[in-house]
Every structure is written in structure tokens, then in C-alpha cells.
Chain A
Amino acid sequence: MEFYRSQVLICGGTGCTSSGSMDILAALKSELATKGLDKEVEVIRTGCFGLCELGPIVIVYPEGAFYSKVTVEDIPELVEEHLLKGRILKRLVYHDAIEEDKIKSLNKVSFYEKQLRIALKNCGVIDPENIDEYLAFDGYKALEKAITAMTPQDVIDEIKKSGLRGRGGGGFPTGLKWQFAAKSQNDQKYIICNADEGDPGAFMDRSVLEGDPHVVLEAMAIGGYAIGADQGVIYVRAEYPIAVQRLEVAIKQAREYGLLGKNILGSGFNFDVEIRLGAGAFVCGEETALMQSVEGKRGMPTPKPPFPAVSGLWEKPTVINNVETYANIPQIINNGSEWFASIGTEKSKGTKVFALGGKITNTGLVEIPMGTTLREVIYDIGGGIPNGKKFKAVQTGGPSGGCITEENMDTPIEYDTLVAIGSMMGSGGMIVVDEDNCMVDVARFFLDFTRDESCGKCTPCRIGTKRLLEILIKITEGKGTLEDLDKLEKLALEIKASALCGLGQTAPNPVLSTLKYFRDEYIAHVVDKKCPAGVCKALMQYTIQDDVCKKCGICAKACPVGAISGKVKEQFVINQDKCVKCGECMAKCPFKAIVKK
């Protein structure tokens, strides 16, 4: 490998290329050659930096000097000053770059500063396989406080007063759930942790289990003390091997320390936890189906009532909460309900973890106080849409939720406001969609998922989702009619009203919300037979522009199905009936004569 003393990075993203970065690259290379620096300085073309409005962008390492809006005329001076004499060309350096570049810790970046970490407090800080590190951050202090200084009713009152609501999607008040189970008289009760996270794009439960498994164990023990249960079950998907392994380590350590098992901390309170692995069925995240699965039966929901708090696992009173809900409990006990209730909004207290995914710069996990607006989450924390594309919508709540558009971007995130605008909190997946995504196709994707995952017990869900999907596919293939749109809506509402469990009742939401906010896209598919985003293959055509085409015949050779015919130096045409729309011809054409429409 050759050794270069300096690297010059030039942005080759779409934005910078259109503002002339490739001319700069060429100018730089020739300037370096004239000055005899081409063996010392490496010139590298990079992908988009995500700051297209400052382009063309040039970065020089090892100094990390960030030059913005560079022109070809600047190049000789840049080479002379910076690369030859080693002086940073201050005139071109972006004004904030020098100052801000001193930030070396992630905690000081806006991505972190707008967050408030309660459920994720220890994630990414402690070693999850070392109970001592969990203890060092006041671990198991809440359990200690609960069983030595509080009565079970005190614990329940504290949780009730905190205003904590279920983080798995339903948003039911946790304290109330515990109260119901505590009131049920029985010799045996159970505490279950629902870690069967199945929404496409959601991974906060996995991250809590992988990063801070003890918090879940501690919270379950507190719950067991509050309702009078001595056995806990964690139902976790087998697809999360690292989470399962770290949980096993955590349970073993907690038992060794006497924080699980018989006579915890000498108080006479017994509590132990076992792990049950789920086989990856989405419906098993539904609480009644989950308990069927734990009992060894096929995972299918049962009608409610009876609610689990009355008759749950093995027909015993059971509390079932989500991982993230549990992750809040120890801190509520430690810091008091007033502290927790002071965070968030009137009806939604505390924080919520979201998994940001899709067309967003900072893909990852964020925890924000309730009441933060979507705009803050997507632009300030998420860093906006990459490659200078335009925001179209954000899908929250996964296959059970809906999409939120630009007009509702300033809505504060709360359980009730999200429902009011046709989406839902769900478990916290947030998938950002930009102008390159087709909303009909997004709805089709989610329906394909729910159709697959429907357990088949009730007719509306089993057959209804299949019919919804068929109509959606018909539309994406350009065979839909306006009548189909009415059918979609009617069927969706009927499924919502008649399905047995949450899966079926919410499965039509993606259809309804895309129909509500993007009806024009549906109409474009149905009436104009066009996919505005250029996603639905059946609705696009590759054509050769005659005036650009040099009649070389490369496209005809590249076509894998022989759909392009013609003679060299005469004319080439694409046979639309044969074309499979693979795009190979467009990729191979050296003159960019083939267009996709």
C-alpha cells in the first residue's frame, strides 16, 4: 500500500455533483500533478455527507478541515496554501466547523442533548454481563426499598400516581393493571414480561434486554411483590440470541446474590424468573396468545374478558407488561412518582423509546420525553432525510399504525394525539418515508406482513387481510378501479370492527391512513396508471430516447430477456411486453439514453 500524508475527500453525492464537485475533483488532480504532490496526497470521492446545501464539500485530512461551497477557481489556492504550505485556508472553511469539531463525545451532540434517558439509562454505559456495574448505578435499590420499606399497596399506589402507561402499544395504565391483579384472590399469581417484539423496524426491547437485563428482573420482582406473585416468565423471541444469553447470565448472577429466589434480602419474599422462547410469531406479542404459547399450546388469542389480571397464565391472575414498561419501574420507586409525573404531558407521563429507521440520517434508538414533536425527533435528533430528499411521511406503530404527514409534524407525541391523527404509538417503531417511496406499496408491504402473521382463528382477519392485500396488489399492478378504493375502505372498517384481537383490529390501519393522506397516489395508480414515486414495477416503462441514443447496441446485449431489438447504427426499441423492468439496460447505457418513466 502506498502511503499518503494527506487525504482529500470530495463529496460525490447527487447534490454536490450537480453543483460541480466532479469538476473540482478533476481540477484538484491536475493541480496536484503540476505541483508534484500526486504521490503524497490522495484524492477520494465519497458518498453524500448529508449537507447538500453547503456543497460542493471538500474535506482535507489529517487536519479534518471542512471546506464548503468550493469552486474550481479556489483549487490552486487551496493546494498552494493547505497541501503545500500546510496552512488551513480559513476563507473557505465552514464557519462553525472549527469550533464544533472539538466535540469528541457523543453526549454533546444534538442527537443526545434532546433526549432524556430513563428506560435506556444504563444502555451503552454499563457492562450488561456484570451485576456489580448495575448495582453501582443504584441497581436493585428499588427492590430493596419496596420489600423493606413499602407495603405491596404502597408500591401499586406509587406506580398509579406516576401515570406510567404500557409501552408495548396499548397504553393501559400500569398501576391499574397491577391493582386488578392484586385484588384477584388466588394461591398462585404470575408476572410476565412481554419481550416478543415483532413490529418490523422496532428493536427497543431487544436493546434494553441486551444492554440492561437486570432492570427487567428487578422490575418484575417489584411487580411480583406488589401483586403477590412468586413466579415470573420472560417470553422472548428465539431470534434474539444475544438478549437471551445476557438474560440467562443476569438471572444466574441475581440468584447468586440472593436477589432472585427464596427469601430475598432476608424479607421472606420469594420470587424467581424463567425464560420462555417464542418461535417468532407476530401474534404471540398479543397477551392472550402469548400465554397460550407459554402453556405449550398453539399461539392464538382468546376473547377478553376474562382479562389476564383475573384469569391469565394457567388460569391464574397474571400481570403482563412490556420490557420498556418494566425498565421505567425501578426509577419510579427510587425517585418517587412525582418525579416521573413531572416528565411528559398531562395524559402521557415519562418518556418513550423510538427506533428510528427508513430514510433518516441517524438510524438508531432514541428516548424522548412525551410531548416532543415529530419534527424535533426527525430533524433535530434524527438528522433529517439523507441525500437531500424530500420528507413524505413517517410510519409509527408498525403494521398496526398509520402514517403521519408533513401537516401533522408539529403534533406532540402522546398516546392520544397520535390516535387522533390516525396513527398510534405502538411499540415505538418509526419508519421514515421519503419521496422515493410509494405509499400504496408501503400499505401493500404491511398488509403482506399481517396477512402472513394472521393466526387464522377469526374470519375477518384470516380472509379479510388476504382480500385487502389482493386489492392492493391489483392497484400496484395498474389493474385497479376507483370502485376498488371504496371496497378497500369498506372492508378495512369491517375488519377493524369485527376481528378478535389487536392484530386484526389494527391490521387495516396502514391502508386507512394511506388512503386518508395519500388518496391522490392511489388515484394516480388507478386512473392514470402511473406510480408517482416510480416504485411499482408494472406501472413504469423503460424507453430509449432516440435523440440521445448513439445506436451502439450495448443495451440489447445487456438485456437478459432479449426484449431490445434493432440494428447497430440504425435504431433500437424496447419491446414492452417482453421487458421485465430489471433496469439492466439503463445501468449499462454509456450515454444515459434510456429513461424510466
Chain B
Amino acid sequence: MKSIQELEAIRKKTIDNVNQRKDRTTTRIVVGMATCGIAAGARPVLLAIMDEISKQGLSDVSVVQTGCIGVCRLEPIVEVIKPGEEKVTYIKMDADKARRMVNEHVVGGKVVDEYVMHIIDGHIVNDYTVKND
């Protein structure tokens, strides 16, 4: 049982974890794990990110699951919020892409442009299926 004061203390303590803005102090990686995300393959993505982070021995990075982000067709979605940076939304991820994202963006500081949205005229045009010839 927590008192009102204790709840307030938890709120203060956790606010930086969930902060969506760039004035946060740690890196937060969020993986969409609602039914839509899991069905699209979010579980291996989450595992790959956690594995890569422990391999690299990164601290100050939290990996969390979250509910439906809304654009179910672009799942698995991974969002990265780094201190001092705007939130970056990666879409249609898989385990290999996730590892690359951890290495190049979280560690290297360079956003992997190929995996973020490609927007033309307000439309997100990553929604194509590649038919290799």
C-alpha cells in the first residue's frame, strides 16, 4: 500500500523515463507490442534489441514494450527517443534491421534513414511490397 505522497514520488521519479521530448536524460527505445505489432513480428525485434544492447554493454538505454501506436499497417514499429534529439519512428522492422538500428543510431548517433518513413505529399510511401526480379 502506497500513500498519496509515495505515489507523487513515483510520478516524479518515473517522468523522465516516459518523457517524449528531447530534454530527457536517457535513451528510450519503445517497441509496439499490441496484437497488431506482435502479429507483424515485434517479438523477435524486441529480443534482438535487448540482445544487441547487452552485447554492446550499453547503459542508460531502456527498452520497453508499448500498446498500439495506431498505424497497424507499418508494424513492427520501433521508436527511439535520445536525449537532445526528436523522436525517431522506425517502421516495418525485423531483427536484423533492429540490430543495425542499435549499432548505427543508438551507439553511432546516425539515424538509419532507410528504415524510417518516406513521406511524399503527407503520404507515407513505405507501404510497398518488393517483388525482386
Interface residues of A (CB under 8 A from B): 9, 11-12, 25, 43-51, 54, 59, 61-62, 64, 66, 94, 96-97, 100-101, 103-107, 109-112, 115, 120, 122-130, 132-133, 135-140, 144, 148, 203, 206-208, 210-212, 240, 242-243, 257-259, 265-266, 361-366, 380, 383
Contact = CB atoms under 8 A, between A and B. Distances in A.
A104 B89 contact: yes
Nearest to A68: B120
B88 interface: yes
B67 A64 contact: no
B70 to A, nearest CB: 5
B131 A45 contact: yes
A137 B88 CA distance: 21
B13 to A, nearest CB: 8
Contacts of A137: 18
B128 A103 contact: no
Contact of A47 (B15, B20, B129): B129
A361 B111 contact: no
B73 interface: yes
A405 B1 CA distance: 55
Contact of B117 (A12, A103, A126): A103
6 shortest A-B CB distances, which residue pairs?
A211-B67, A258-B1, A124-B69, A136-B14, A207-B68, A106-B89
A123 B124 contact: no
Contact of A257 (B2, B13, B111): B2
B128 A130 contact: no
Contacts, number: 198
B12 to A, nearest CB: 8
Contact of B113 (A62, A106, A126, A130): A62
Nearest to A243: B35
Nearest to A204: B68
B35 A203 contact: yes
B125 A106 contact: no
A197 to B, nearest CB: 12
Given A257-B1, A258-B2, A94 B64 contact: no
Interface in B88-133: 88-89, 91, 111, 113-114, 116-125, 127-133
Contact of B70 (A64, A129, A133, A364): A364
A100 B66 contact: no
26 contacts: A43-B133, A44-B130, A45-B132, A45-B133, A62-B114, A106-B69, A106-B71, A111-B70, A120-B68, A120-B70, A123-B67, A124-B30, A124-B66, A125-B18, A125-B30, A127-B64, A127-B66, A128-B67, A133-B14, A135-B10, A211-B68, A257-B1, A257-B7, A258-B2, A363-B72, A380-B122
Contacts of A240: 35
Contacts of B48: none
Nearest to A239: B35
Contacts of B133: 25, 43-45
Given A135-B10, A203-B35, 14 more contacts: A44-B133, A101-B118, A104-B87, A105-B79, A106-B77, A111-B124, A124-B30, A128-B65, A136-B11, A144-B4, A148-B4, A211-B66, A212-B67, A242-B35
A366 B11 CA distance: 28
Contacts of B88: 104-105
Contacts of B125: 49-51, 66
B127 A107 contact: no
A43 B72 CA distance: 28
B118 A124 contact: no
B96 to A, nearest CB: 12
A383 B15 CA distance: 34
A210 B118 contact: no
A124 B32 contact: yes
Contacts of A111: 70-71, 124
Contact of A64 (B11, B86, B114): B114
B7 to A, nearest CB: 6
B25 interface: no
A365 B116 CA distance: 20
Interface string B43-70: 0000000000000000000001111111
B38 to A, nearest CB: 7
A109 B124 contact: yes
Nearest to B31: A127
Contacts of B120: 51, 54, 66, 94, 96-97, 100
Nearest to A357: B72
Contacts of A128: 65-67
A75 to B, nearest CB: 16
A346 B13 CA distance: 41
Contacts of B114: 61-62, 64
A103 B38 contact: no
Contacts of A115: 70
